[in-house]
Amino acid sequence: MATVSCERCCQKTENPQFRQLDEFIALQESGRNALIPVLHKAQEIFGFLPPDVQQHVADALGIQASEVLGVVTFYHYFTMQPRGRHTVNVCLGTACYVRGAKKVMEALCHELGVKMGETTPDRRFSLTAQRCFGACGLAPVVMVNEDVHGRVTPKKIASILAKYE
């Protein structure tokens, strides 16, 4: 197990988020078998998995930090960047793309002031894309969190986002 400086260790034990994570880890078996559930819990607690959280998980499970990083970067669900309170996900599947999803995406980028895959500075919105939502009859489709918005046009973007302000 890696040696952690007292200053770094003490700061983490005073942090309620690290204490909550440690309580969860204590209920798990040690080693790599617990890694995925622990990472899910850590992301639930912190909202993302920055390097200090990854190192903490590695130390607590007695594994290498490189193993933790490998899992975090392999699985799409995990993120090392903060996400917004609301995830705006644009369908870029064939039906949506043919019906104007590219223009919808451009309008979202302009309205939010971010590029695809980024989060607004106020951490209100994260902008992502997916290949198909299975709602082709409503194309183009935008999902905000779990809410499906169909037949979206660039002109509708501002009113859709306003519902999540």
Write the DSSP assignment of 27-83 as a string of letters: TSPSSGGGHHHHHHHHHHHHSS--HHHHHHHHHHHT--HHHHHHHHHHSTT--SS--
* pLDDT tier, 49 (very low <50, low <70, confident <90, very high otherwise): very high
DSSP 8-state secondary structure symbol assigned to residue 99: T
Q: Is the peptide bond before 140 cis (omega within 30 degrees of 0)?
A: yes
The percentage of the chain sitting over the pLDDT mark of 70, rounded to a whole number, equals 92
**Burial zone of 14 (CB within 10 Å; 0-12 exposed, 13-18 middle, 19+ buried):** exposed
Residue 86, sorted as left (phi over 0), alpha (psi -120 to 50) or beta, turns out to be beta
User: Of residues 81 and 96, which shows the higher confidence score?
Assistant: 96
Confidence of residue 39 (pLDDT cuts 50, 70, 90): very high
Percent of the chain with pLDDT over 90: 84
pLDDT at 76 > cutoff 90: no
> What's the pLDDT score for residue 31?
85
Question: Can you tell me the mean pLDDT for 145-153?
Answer: 96
